[in-house]
Chains A and B, each alone.
Chain A
Amino acid sequence: MSEPVIVLDNLSKSFGNVHAVEDLSLQIEEGSIFGFLGANGAGKTTTMRMLCGLTHPTAGHATIEGADVWKDRYLVRTKFGYVPQRFSLYRDLTVLENFRFFGGAYRVAGAKLERRIERLLRVIDLQEKRNTTAQNLSGGMRQLLAIGCALVHDPPLLFFDEPTAGLDPVHRQQIWNLLYDLSNEGKTIFVTTHYMDEVERCTEVGFIESGRLLARASPRAMKSSFRVRLLELDVEPLMPALVRLRDVPELLGVSLRSGSLRLYAQEPEKLMARWRENWPFPDVRLLGERWVEPDMEDVFTAYSQGYDGVLKKSAL
C-alpha cells in the first residue's frame, strides 16, 4: 500500500448549530480514484472546499502531502487542481486565453507553459477549438477545458466536484477515460458524483450522510456490505402494486427497476414464504420472483435512506 496523499483527522465544520461535516477521518492513498458519495447537502462540497483551503475547519484538521490544508494553504494550492461543480472558467475568454491565465495564476510561464498547453489541448481534444470563446463550447467541451485548466500546473492531486453532472453519455465516457489516464500517470483523484455507474469506476468509495462518514470501502466491498439478498418481483399492474407494497410494515423500501419491483426487507425469505402461501393483494397478480445481488444504487439507497436492517455493521 502506498503513502496516503490526503489525511483527514476528525475534520469538522459547523455553521452555527448546523454541523455540515462532523469528525471526518479518512486516508486516501496515492494513485487512487476516491469516489465521495452522498445525497445533496450531505457535506461533500463542504469537505472538498475545506480540503481546497477555501473554508477553514472548525475542528480537527487535514493534510495534503503532509501540509495543513488551512494553515499552509498557499503551499497546498500548488499540489492540487480543482474542478468545481459549476462551470467556473471565463466565458468571454477563448480556450487558449483561459489556459494562459490559469498558467500565469499558477506561476507556470514562458515556453514551459506553451508546451504544457499544447499537450493538454491534445489530451482534452480541443486543438481545433483553441480560439473559440468558452461560452461557445458545448457543455462537454467546457468540462474538458475546466479539467485541462486544473492540470496546467501538473498537480499530483485532483479534486472533481460532480465532473459529469448534466453531460451526455459520450462526454461522460470521454471524461472518465481522461480520469483513468490521469490515474495511470500516478495522480490521485478525489471525485464526488451522483451517478452510480461512475461510483463503480472508483477504486475506493466513501459514503457521507449528514456530515458523517458512514462507510468507506472499495465498490465491491460496499456491495457486499448487504446482509441480505434482495427480492425482485414481477407484478401486474405495476403502479398500484408499488403503492400497496410501500405500506407493508416489514418492507424498508421498494424501488422500481426495469419493470420489476425491488424490495428491501430485513428478512425477505420469511416474507416471501408467507406471500407464497397467502398473497395479500387480490387486485395485483404476482407473475414471478427472483433473488438479486445489490448494486451500487442499492447501496446508495440503503445508506442514504438509513435502511440499517439490510446492512452489515459499518464497513468503515
Chain B
Amino acid sequence: MKWPAPGAIASVAYKEFLHIYRDRRVLLLVIILPPLFTVIFGHAFESTRRTGVPTLLIDRDQTPRTARFIEIISKDKTFDWRMPAQDFQGESDLIGNGVKASLVIPAGWTDSLNKGDPKPLPLYLDDSDTGTGESVEGAVQQNLGTFQAKERDLVVESLPEDVIELGKKLPVDVRKQFVSLMTAWTTESKNLYNPNARFIDYVVPGVIGLILQLLTVTLMACTIARERESGTLYQLLVTSLQRGEIVIGKMLPYLVVSAFLVLVIMLVSRWHFSVTFYQLPALAIVCLLFLLCSLGLGLLISAFSRTQTQAIQFSVFFLLPVFVLSGAFAPLEQLPQAVRYISEFFPLTHFCRAFRLVNMYHAGLQFYFNDLVILLAGAVITFLGAAFLLKRIEQ
C-alpha cells in the first residue's frame, strides 16, 4: 500500500461532485431543506413553556370574590379559558368538553373562606403526556397565591382602627417579624450562560446537528451502494485507485457541501432568530470533526449495504435513536443514567455538548476536549471500517 495520491483523490472527488451536481432534484433538496428546516425547527423549539391550554372554568359560586379571582387567572397565558357549552358533559369529561383541564369553583367557596375553613378547588387534569397536568396545576397554584395575597391586603386594609392600635403595642421585633411574614419571600436569580433564557440559543446546535446528520449520513450512505448497484464498483476497483483514495475522494465533496450548509444554517439562525455565535474557530473545529464522523458513518453504512434501498433503511434505523437520545432538543439529564451510556455512542451527542460549551458557556478547550477526541476517534474508526469493508468486496 502506498500513500494516497492527491491527483487520484481529486479525480474521485471531482467525479463525485459531478454526481451531486447532475442530480438536480437532490441538489435542490440539499440547498432548500436546511434553511427551511432551521426556520421551522427554530420556531417549533423557540419556547418550552406551555401556552394556550384549553381549560374549562366553572364558577358555581358567582360572588364578587370569585369574580376577582377569575379576573386574575384569566390574564395567565397558560390557559385558553372556555365556558361550559350548551351540551355541557360534566366537569370530569375532558374530551367531551374538548379541553385539557377543568377548574371548578364550588358553590359556597366564598363562604368557606369567610368561615376560616377554605374548600379546595376541584381541578381535573389531562396528564396523558405527563407534562400538561403539572403545568396547569402549577399555574393555578401560582394564581391562587397571587389572589390570596391580594385578599389578605384587602383584609389588612379593612381592619378596625383599634386593632391597629393594639398591634402597635406589640414589641418592635415581633412587629417586624409580622411584616416579613406578610411579604412574599423571594430569590434573586441571575441566569448564567443563557441570560435571556432563550431556548432557541440552546437548541441551535441540535438543529444544525440534526439536519447535517440526516443529510450527511443518507447522502453518503448511497455513494458506494450506488456504485455497487450500477456495476461501476468493479470498474472502479480494477483501476489503479487504492481504497483509501476512493474513500477520501468520495468524502471530500460531501464535506465541502455540508460545511457550506453549516454556514447557511448559522446565517439563518443569526438573521432570523438573532442567535449569536462565539469563538468561531473553535466552533469550526467542532463542526468539522462532527462532519467527518457523520460522513464516516455514512460511508460505513454504504460499504456495508448491497443496494441503495438497504443503505437508506440502515440510515433510518441508525438515525431514529440518535434523534431521540442525543440530547439535541432536550437535556440529556432527562434520560435515565443507563440510557445515557448509549447516547455517548452518537456523534450528535458530543457535537451538541461541545457546541454548547463553546457557544453558550464560552468554555475553554479543556471542557470539551474529550468530545473532540471521541468525534475524531469516531471518524478514524468509521473510515478504516469502510476501507476494510471495501477490501472484503474484492474477496
Binding site for B on A (CB under 8 A): 49, 52-56, 73-74, 77-78, 80, 82, 84, 86-93, 97, 100-107, 109, 133, 153
A90 contact set on B, CB distance < 8 A: 15, 18-19, 232
Measured CB to CB, the closest approach of chain A to B193, in angstroms, equals 48
Q: Is the CB of B394 within 8 A of A54?
A: yes
Q: Which residue of chain A lies nearest to B235 when distances are taken between CB atoms in the complex?
A: A88
Whether A104 contacts B235 in the complex (CB less than 8 A), given A93-B15, A97-B18, comes out as no
Q: Is the CB of B240 within 8 A of A89?
A: no
Known: A82-B234, A97-B15, A105-B240. 13 other contacts (CB 8 A): A52-B234, A55-B394, A56-B395, A84-B231, A88-B234, A92-B19, A93-B19, A105-B236, A106-B239, A106-B240, A107-B7, A107-B240, A109-B7
Which residues of B in the span 183-210 have a Cβ within 8 Å of any Cβ on A?
Answer: none
A97 contact set on B, CB distance < 8 A: 15, 18
Asked if B313 is an interface residue, CB under 8 A from chain A, the answer is no
Q: Is the CB of B15 within 8 A of A89?
A: no
A92 contact set on B, CB distance < 8 A: 18-19, 22-23
Instruction: Give Cα A90–Cα B230 distance, bound, in whole angstroms.
Output: 8
Asked if B275 is an interface residue, CB under 8 A from chain A, the answer is no
Q: Is the CB of B232 within 8 A of A89?
A: yes
A91 contact set on B, CB distance < 8 A: 230
B238 contact set on A, CB distance < 8 A: 52-54, 77, 80, 82
B234 contact set on A, CB distance < 8 A: 49, 52, 54, 82, 84, 88
Q: Which residue of chain B lies nearest to A159 when distances are taken between CB atoms in the complex?
A: B238
Asked if B242 is an interface residue, CB under 8 A from chain A, the answer is yes
Measured CB to CB, the closest approach of chain B to A151, in angstroms, equals 13
Asked if B12 is an interface residue, CB under 8 A from chain A, the answer is yes
Whether A54 contacts B8 in the complex (CB less than 8 A), given A90-B232, A93-B18, A101-B14, comes out as no
A106 contact set on B, CB distance < 8 A: 239-240
Q: Is the CB of A89 within 8 A of B8?
A: no
B231 contact set on A, CB distance < 8 A: 84, 86-88
A56 contact set on B, CB distance < 8 A: 394-395
The size of the chain B interface, using a CB distance under 8 A, is 26
Q: Is the interface of B mostly helix, strand, loop or mixed?
A: helix
Q: Is the CB of B19 within 8 A of A107?
A: no
Q: Which residue of chain A lies nearest to B20 when distances are taken between CB atoms in the complex?
A: A92
Q: Which residue of chain A lies nearest to B21 when distances are taken between CB atoms in the complex?
A: A92
What string of 1s and 0s marks CB contacts (under 8 Å) between B344-372 and chain A?
Answer: 00000000000000000000000000000
Instruction: Give Cα A276–Cα B213 distance, bound, in whole angstroms.
Output: 83
Q: Is the CB of A77 within 8 A of B11?
A: no
Measured CB to CB, the closest approach of chain A to B11, in angstroms, equals 3
User: What are 29 contact pairs spanning A and B, CB under 8 A?
Assistant: A49-B234, A54-B234, A54-B237, A54-B238, A54-B394, A55-B394, A56-B394, A73-B394, A77-B239, A77-B240, A78-B240, A82-B235, A82-B238, A87-B231, A88-B232, A89-B235, A90-B232, A92-B18, A93-B19, A97-B18, A101-B15, A104-B11, A104-B12, A104-B14, A105-B12, A105-B239, A105-B241, A107-B8, A153-B240
Asked if B10 is an interface residue, CB under 8 A from chain A, the answer is yes
Asked if B5 is an interface residue, CB under 8 A from chain A, the answer is yes
Q: Is the CB of B394 within 8 A of A53?
A: yes
Q: Which residue of chain B lies nearest to A82 when distances are taken between CB atoms in the complex?
A: B238
Whether A105 contacts B11 in the complex (CB less than 8 A), given A84-B234, A88-B232, comes out as yes
Instruction: Give Cα A153–Cα B232 distance, bound, in whole angstroms.
Output: 18
B232 contact set on A, CB distance < 8 A: 88-90
B7 contact set on A, CB distance < 8 A: 104, 107, 109
B241 contact set on A, CB distance < 8 A: 105
Measured CB to CB, the closest approach of chain B to A98, in angstroms, equals 9
Q: Is the CB of A74 within 8 A of B242?
A: yes
Whether A55 contacts B239 in the complex (CB less than 8 A), given A88-B230, A100-B11, comes out as no
Instruction: Give Cα A54–Cα B230 distance, bound, in whole angstroms.
Output: 17
Instruction: Give Cα A53–Cα B391 distance, bound, in whole angstroms.
Output: 12
Measured CB to CB, the closest approach of chain A to B1, in angstroms, equals 8
Q: Is the CB of A102 within 8 A of B239?
A: yes
Instruction: Give Cα A84–Cα B236 distance, bound, in whole angstroms.
Output: 11
Instruction: Give Cα A70–Cα B12 distance, bound, in whole angstroms.
Output: 24
Q: Which residue of chain B lies nearest to A55 when distances are taken between CB atoms in the complex?
A: B395
Instruction: Give Cα A80–Cα B238 distance, bound, in whole angstroms.
Output: 9
Instruction: Give Cα A260–Cα B236 distance, bound, in whole angstroms.
Output: 48
Measured CB to CB, the closest approach of chain A to B344, in angstroms, equals 39
Measured CB to CB, the closest approach of chain A to B128, in angstroms, equals 50
Measured CB to CB, the closest approach of chain A to B160, in angstroms, equals 93
What string of 1s and 0s marks CB contacts (under 8 Å) between B88-110 and chain A?
Answer: 00000000000000000000000
Measured CB to CB, the closest approach of chain A to B86, in angstroms, equals 65
Measured CB to CB, the closest approach of chain B to A58, in angstroms, equals 10
Instruction: Give Cα A107–Cα B241 distance, bound, in whole angstroms.
Output: 8
Q: Which residue of chain B lies nearest to A107 when distances are taken between CB atoms in the complex?
A: B240
Measured CB to CB, the closest approach of chain A to B44, in angstroms, equals 36
Measured CB to CB, the closest approach of chain B to A283, in angstroms, equals 52
Q: Is the CB of B15 within 8 A of A74?
A: no
Q: Is the CB of B230 within 8 A of A104?
A: no
Instruction: Give Cα A226–Cα B375 distance, bound, in whole angstroms.
Output: 70
Instruction: Give Cα A77–Cα B10 distance, bound, in whole angstroms.
Output: 20
Instruction: Give Cα A162–Cα B111 distance, bound, in whole angstroms.
Output: 100
Which residues of B in the span 1-58 have a Cβ within 8 Å of any Cβ on A?
Answer: 5, 7-8, 10-12, 14-15, 18-19, 22-23
B235 contact set on A, CB distance < 8 A: 82, 84, 88-89
Instruction: Give Cα A14–Cα B395 distance, bound, in whole angstroms.
Output: 12
Instruction: Give Cα A276–Cα B384 distance, bound, in whole angstroms.
Output: 76
Measured CB to CB, the closest approach of chain B to A15, in angstroms, equals 11
Measured CB to CB, the closest approach of chain A to B247, in angstroms, equals 14
B8 contact set on A, CB distance < 8 A: 104-105, 107
